[in-house]
Amino acid sequence: MNTITTDQLLASLNWRYATKVFDPARKISAATWVALEDALVLAPSSFGLQPYRFLVVRDTALRAKLRPHSWDQSQVTDASHFVVFLARTEIVAGDIAHLIDRIAEVRGQPATALAGYRQVMEGSLLNEARKPHLHDWASRQAYIAMGQLMTAAAVLGIDTCPMEGFDPSKYDELLGVRKEGYATIAAVALGYRAESDKYASLPKVRFPKAELIKTV
């Protein structure tokens, strides 16, 4: 497996920032976008259940409708790509069965051999005490994927801006996701920074490592 050096990794992470102004004329190539979509699909999740969806909004008219509900942030319309992160509003037995079937298909084993794993998931996720918290749990899984997307983008020299500054209920309405059992939780704009973005040249502000990381 080919790897990048530690210096290359840290240079990419230091280079990235929450891009405020995108160059609307610059677009991510098709091949690069396929790789970024694959990075999303490859993100880890608890149980491997993947209780989320990633909605790539390409329709410019729809993005224009979303912008007023996003504090009028230009990233929504000016970025090359705009991904809305959706999390399951509830988890049902069918979701678990769907994963079991997929594992059996990919790994070439009978679904009956996964009965124990199915029981573990059902015991953890389908009990009444857990039910009110499952959307929050699914949202946290989606945020793992968001981090993986932004890191992959940085390594490939693609700018990103994670976004929570919008009205989720309006997004849900415009995107029609509630009827499919999902709710909007966040978004990421991706593309290339504009030369006019003053934030690109500002030093990255983080607390010292010794303050954030403790070894016990």
Chain segment 46-60, per-residue pLDDT in tens: 999 999 999 999 999
Query: Which residue reads 């693609």 in tokens?
Result: 158
Query: Which residue reads 């051999």 in tokens?
Result: 113
Model confidence at 188, pLDDT cuts 50, 70, 90, reads very high
Chain segment 125-143, per-residue pLDDT in tens: 999 999 999 999 999 999 9
CB 164 within 8 A of CB 188: no
Domain that holds residue 189: 6-91+126-212
Please determine, for residue 73, whether its predicted confidence score (pLDDT) is greater than 90: yes
Chain segment 88-109, per-residue pLDDT in tens: 999 999 999 999 999 999 999 9
In a domain, 114, yes or no: no
Query: Which residue reads 């059992």 in tokens?
Result: 181
**What pairs with residue 161 in β-bridges?**
189
Which H or E element spans position 160?
A: strand 159-163
d(CA 141, CA 125): 14
Mean pLDDT taken over the chain: 98
- The burial class, CB within 10 Å (0-12 / 13-18 / 19+), for 87 is buried
In a domain, 115, yes or no: no
Structurally, the chain folds into a number of domains equal to 1
Q: Tell me, what's the pLDDT at 2?
A: 85
In a domain, 110, yes or no: no
